Amino acid sequence: MTTTDTAAASDSSATALEEAVTSTDPRTLSRVWGFGGMTSILLGAVAALLVGLERLDLRSANVFSSADQVFQFWSAHRVALVLLGVLPALMALSTTVVPRQCGGSLVFPRAAALACWTWLIGAGMTIVGFLVDGGLGTPGGAGQRQATALTLMGLLLVVGGLVLASICVMTTIVSGRAAGTGLRDLPFTAWTTLVAATVWTGMLPVLAANAVLAYVDLRGRPAVRFGAEDAIWEQVSWMFTHPAVYVLALPVLGIALDVVASTTRTTQANRDVLLVATAAFGFLSFGAFAQTFFDTPGTPIREEALSVVAAFAIVPVALAIFGGLADTLRRGASNLGSKPPPETVLSMLAVLLIVVGTVVGALHVIAPLDLLGTAVEGANFTLVVGAAVLGVGAGLHHWGDEIVGPGGRPGLFLLGGLAIALGVAVSGVTDLFSGQLGQADFTGVSLAAAGYPDSGVDGLNLVSMIGSLAVLGGLAAWMLAGILHMVTAQNAREATVQEKGAA
């Protein structure tokens, strides 16, 4: 706590809101990151469900009025999950758990608070931008330019907040960890967060460059090229597809390794191999180069050797990490008892889904299969980001007492997590098949936009929509469990204060 916080804490008239807004306490910031991130994930899941409903009939618009509206929700779902959802939820763990694992405290707490609130304001602007007919462009160019500009500004603030928070976390790990603790000695969550944050601070500024270029071209006059309504999404879409989405999964691998080691009370064999493998996973996740909008005619970047090799190389790396995790679980299984902790079950499922996601990612770059731009890309996104959501949830539950206080609801949490895992698997696998039947990633509201897929996709889209419904149900259960957890912890704190007062 800083001097400001101490002063604020001593002021009994400060409300919870005032305390939250003015505090630089990492636990308070962590709650803002976590609650904001999980709310955005829920909103993203709602948008995905609506798009899933629209896909039930590919020939016409039923839920929405036009293809542009479908596109706004389709792109909002991806932005909400990645930049407004999973990354901030990971920051919730990075600001509390990682400094403790390093044996120190979060450096630059005021900068971390600035980052958190910048992100929150940016997230609000981005959501409002999408809701007022803006978003990140539309294929038909029917969106409102001012609203699109607002979305871009919101996106820039979101990126700024996330980069600043990443810098605080990285500096904490590199420079603020306890004396005598080497990087090799760090727990896996801290290690993978360091690797992932390095990749984030490399990729997010490139996304900001794309957004600034689009914004400059969009404002005040007819766009030359970059700010054209039908061109903005394609310039930033690399952030929401293979390989950039893998970096969301990286800290989840670290969380799973720590959770399984902690609950089985077993240390990993071949620790150095796992350190190298997780670093390699991060290296292969760097996706800022894969910008299809700027493809040289005749040489699409997704078909270049670099993209293809990276897509295949990450599969054995993910398998190696999964192997290390399974080995730890095998050796410590006897310590789990008859009812394994929910976070162990869910983190194992998350890593399994990541492995499946990397396999799907490798499949979709095989040129003869012609799967680029099909629903297989969506399947890759669903599996990897869904796994990241699952893993982040497992981490938040595992360290929940530290962030919020006592009072977790393991039963409700496990139920929600299993629904999410099942929904993600069902949606991902059905999208994989519908992509092979020729369905486009973005289906629009006509058969032509959907890529004239084979007849079997109608049934698959129904199953995929049911999967989305299961994900939404699971997330709702998690939100309920989280709110109950916070209420219980708050009541416990108040009871302690009253007991002290009475004494």
Interface pick for another protein out of 204, 284, 315, 403 (rule CB under 8 A):
204
The phi, psi pair for 374, rounded to 5°, reads: -95, 180
Least distance between another protein and beta carbon 75 (Å): 20
- Binding track, positions 89-128, relative to another protein; x by CB under 8 A: ------------------xx--------------------
Q: Which is nearer to another protein, 16 or 179 (CB)?
A: 179
Write out the binding residues for another protein, residues 210-229 only, by CB under 8 A: 210, 212-213, 216-217, 221-226
Question: Within positions 143 to 182, which residues make up the interface with another protein, using CB under 8 A?
Answer: 163, 166-168, 170-171, 174-177, 179-180
Q: SS3 breakdown of the chain: % helix, strand, coil, rounded to 5?
A: 75, 0, 25
Give the count of beta carbons closer than 10 Å to the beta carbon of residue 255.
31
Q: Which residues contact 247 (CB under 8 A, 6 or more apart)?
A: 196, 199, 200, 203, 282, 285, 286, 287
- Tokens for 44, please give them: 């993203």
| Contact residue for another protein among 124, 140, 205, 438 (CB under 8 A) | 205
> Site for another protein (CB under 8 A): which residue of 12, 15, 296, 338?
296
By beta-carbon proximity to another protein, the closer residue of 200 and 413 is 200
Specify the long-range contacts of residues 454-459, CB closer than 8 Å, at least 24 apart.
457/58, 458/56, 458/58
Sequence length of the chain is: 503
Q: Is 12 exposed, middle or buried (0-12, 13-18, 19+ CB in 10 A)?
A: exposed
Comparing CB distances to another protein, the nearer of 231 and 371 is 231
Q: Is 298 in the site for another protein (CB under 8 A)?
A: no
Structure tokens at 241: 């597809």
Binding segment for another protein among 141-149, 196-204, 336-344, 481-489 (CB under 8 A)?
Answer: 196-204
Instruction: List, in order, residues 6 or more apart from 355 with CB less than 8 Å away.
Output: 315, 318, 319, 322
Question: For the stretch 333-369, what's the b/e string if a residue is b when 16 or more beta carbons lie within 10 angstroms of its beta carbon?
Answer: eeebeeebbbbbbbbbbbbbbbbbbbbbbbbbbeeee
Angle at which helices 375-398 and 26-54 cross, to 10° = 150
89 contacts 396 by C-beta, under 8 angstroms: yes
Choose between 60 and 299: whose C-beta lies nearer to another protein: 299
Whole-number Cα distances in Å, 302 to 106, 172, 287, 355:
39, 36, 11, 20
Token couple for 43: 């909103």
Rounded Cα distance, 448 and 56, in Å: 15
In the bound state with another protein, the residue whose beta carbon lies nearer, of 83 and 170, is 170
Size of the site for another protein (CB under 8 A): 40
Closest contact distance (angstroms) between CB of 209 and another protein is: 4
Under rule CB under 8 A, residue 203 binds another protein: yes
Nearer to another protein, 51 or 82 (CB): 82
Interface mask (CB under 8 A) for another protein, residues 367-386, using x and -?
--------------------
Contacting residue, 41, 127, 157, 206, with another protein by CB under 8 A: 206
162 neighbors 85 (Cβ within 8 angstroms): no
Residue closer to another protein (CB basis): 199 or 372:
199
From the list 79-87, 112-120, 271-279, 292-300, the region that binds another protein by CB under 8 A is: 292-300
Lay out the site mask for another protein across 258-287 (x = CB under 8 A, - = otherwise). ------------------------------
Residue 422 touches another protein, criterion: CB under 8 A: no
136 vs 387 by CB, closer to another protein:
136
Judged by beta carbon, residue 171 or residue 262, the one nearer another protein is: 171
Q: Which is nearer to another protein, 226 or 399 (CB)?
A: 226
Site residues, another protein (CB under 8 A): 107-108, 163, 166-168, 170-171, 174-177, 179-180, 201-210, 212-213, 216-217, 221-226, 288-289, 291, 294, 296-297
